Amino acid sequence: MFKSFQKIGKAFMLPIAILPAAGLLLGIGGALSSEASVQLYPILNNDLLQSIFKVMSAAGSVIFANLALLLCIGLCIGLAKKDKGTAALAGVVGFLVANATTAALVSIFSPEGTAIDTGVIGALVIGLTAVFLHNRYHNIQLPQVLGFFGGSRFVPIVVSVAAIVIGVAFYLIWPPLQYGLVLIGNWIASIGPIGTFFYGFLMRLCGAVGLHHIIYPMFWYTELGGVEIVNGIQVVGAQKIFFAQLADPNHVGLFTEGTRFFAGRFSTMMFGLPAACLAMYNCVTSPNKKKYAGIFLGVALTSFITGITEPIEFMFLFVSPVLYVVHAFLDGVSFFIADIVNIAIGNTFSGGLIDFLLFGVLQGNEKTNWLLQLPIGLIWGVLYYFVFRFAITKFDIKTPGRDDDEFEDEAEVMNEGGESELEADAVQIIEALGGAANIEDVDACITRLRVSVKDSSLVKKDGLTKIGATAVLEVKGGIQAIYGAKAVLYKSVINDILGVTD
């Protein structure tokens, strides 16, 4: 199981590499183009600046809006044994079909219900299903009449069917889960600082699977986040209260009520997780340190500046779910501490340096207690560093760069009992084509194996017909052998033998 989780974590490294740049675009653009920031700092109210910030925000936002799809694609590419492009296409098809199925069921049976977003869980289920079906059926042989749909073309079809079943399952399972989280939210709102701890802990825990978007809106925009009279007007919801107090020129003293659902973020995002990155980097095996320095620096800066943490969290979530739970617990404690010492920094976007400066430092210590955040944050950074360093070394957690290339995929090792019939045929085809050294390129259409060769005189046409070719045609620069539905299968196996990646 640990080995499987390790492979999933490694497969996610491809989309994770995109996230730091997207996070910086989204964090900077989103924070500086928000209505609250513009009203508070008139210097930002410039058409050119706002156009730039909005473009940055949109460019970064589209990546995170489609993060589940990108993770699904990365999973398929990383875990497919061969023909990875087809696996990725199957993953996209499955993802779209599953979500369309769920949305259709919501519109039919629950027209007043909210949309269902399965996040990372959906990406995992669909991606693993797609890659399993791909690895199993990418070389399937169908009857001659259905030959066009054989091989890799069969995979997106069977994945679509499976995705419909998955979409139905999510429609049945997800609403009760969402309802349960709402009940927990009501309980959290009623128990003071302990509730603030559970808010931070639960939101971080649910963030692993994309369910945090169910948690925080209940507190940011409804009575669960507090009710307060600001400038003579009753305001409901944590973020609305904070914005109202920002806009109130007569407000004195600390920002109140709503900030307890924001202030705990800064210790984790600005100090804790960047320190965890340092711990993971220091645990990288020596030959890999230069290779991984850039990615760790990138994700650490993204968390510190913008408060976007997914690029870091996906580095250890799947290789050590227990460590992620510890991280979620520490995040909950961070919220608890910020509440009891009255740190009152709000935010519009996240808990990074940008919001810390805009809604903490520049508001003055008398309103936010931001000076307290610095010593607490430094302590938090040291705590995260040693917790992660200890866990990684003590339990040999395979975070990025630790024996990264040393494990092998046992499923890809050839069975010792002998080659399959397709592989045996492929070896004979290579020999009939004049050997591997005579082959320049191998491709296939619906029925024909198309091979570019260096010297067509070395090709043994009778050898190709003995293996089942109904005809062998010599064309300029190559050979076309007609094998019917097997053509695309032979192409894949031959390329695999020759070491040509798809």
**Span 419-498: which CATH code?**
3.30.1360.60
Looking at the chain, the whole-number percentage of residues with pLDDT higher than 90 is 25
Closest CA to 27 of 305, 213, 222, 238: 305
pTM for this model (two decimals) = 0.65
What is the predicted pLDDT for the residue at 120?
A: 75
Tell me what the mean pLDDT of segment 58-74 comes to. 86
Give me 181's structure tokens: 């989280």
User: For residue 417, what are the contacts with CB-CB under 8 A and spacing of at least 6?
Assistant: none
DSSP string, 448-493: EEEEEES-GGG--HHHHHHTT-SEEEEETTEEEEE-GGGHHHHHHH
Which residue has better confidence, 118 or 336? 336
Indicate left, alpha or beta for 347 from its phi (over 0: left) and psi (-120 to 50: alpha): beta
Q: Where in the chain is the domain with CATH 3.30.1360.60?
A: 419-498
Tell me what the mean pLDDT of segment 95-120 comes to. 84
Largest CA distance in the chain: 94
pLDDT of 271 higher than 90: yes
pLDDT of 200 higher than 70: yes
Tell me what the mean pLDDT of segment 29-35 comes to. 79
**Chain position carrying tokens 């007569």:** 250
Which long-range contacts does 145-149 make (Cβ < 8 Å, 24+ apart)? 146/485, 147/446, 147/447, 147/484, 147/485, 148/446, 148/485
What is the predicted pLDDT for the residue at 280?
A: 93
Which residue has better confidence, 490 or 421? 490
Pairing of strands 227-230, 233-236: antiparallel
Please report which confidence band the pLDDT of residue 405 belongs to, taking 50, 70 and 90 as the band edges. very low
Alpha helices for 34-109 (secondary structure H): 35-40, 47-65, 67-79, 84-109
pLDDT of 150 higher than 70: no
pLDDT of 229 higher than 60: yes
Closest CA to 364 of 444, 251, 241: 251
User: For residue 30, what are the contacts with CB-CB under 8 A and spacing of at least 6?
Assistant: 53, 57, 60, 61, 348, 349
Mean pLDDT lowest among 201-215, 270-284, 325-339: 201-215
pLDDT of 146 higher than 70: no
What is the predicted pLDDT for the residue at 130?
A: 92
Tell me what the mean pLDDT of segment 404-412 comes to. 39
Q: Are 487 and 443 in contact (CB under 8 A)?
A: no
Q: Which of 72, 277, 283, 445 is catalytic?
A: 445
DSSP state of 352: S
What is the predicted pLDDT for the residue at 28?
A: 80
Q: What whole-number distance in Å separates Cα of residue 72 and Cα of residue 94?
A: 9
Residues in the chain: 502
Mean pLDDT for the chain?
82
Please report which confidence band the pLDDT of residue 338 belongs to, taking 50, 70 and 90 as the band edges. very high
Tell me what the mean pLDDT of segment 477-483 comes to. 81
Verify whether residue 445 is a known catalytic residue: yes
Q: How many CB atoms lie within 10 A of CB 218?
A: 22
Which residue has better confidence, 349 or 371? 371
What is the predicted pLDDT for the residue at 412?
A: 38
Q: What whole-number distance in Å separates Cα of residue 379 and Cα of residue 205?
A: 22
Q: What whole-number distance in Å separates Cα of residue 290 and Cα of residue 144?
A: 53
What is the predicted pLDDT for the residue at 3?
A: 56
Give me 170's structure tokens: 């999510």
What is the predicted pLDDT for the residue at 207?
A: 79
Tell me what the mean pLDDT of segment 367-392 comes to. 95
State the burial class of residue 176 (Cβ atoms within 10 Å of its Cβ: 0-12, 13-18, 19+). Answer: exposed
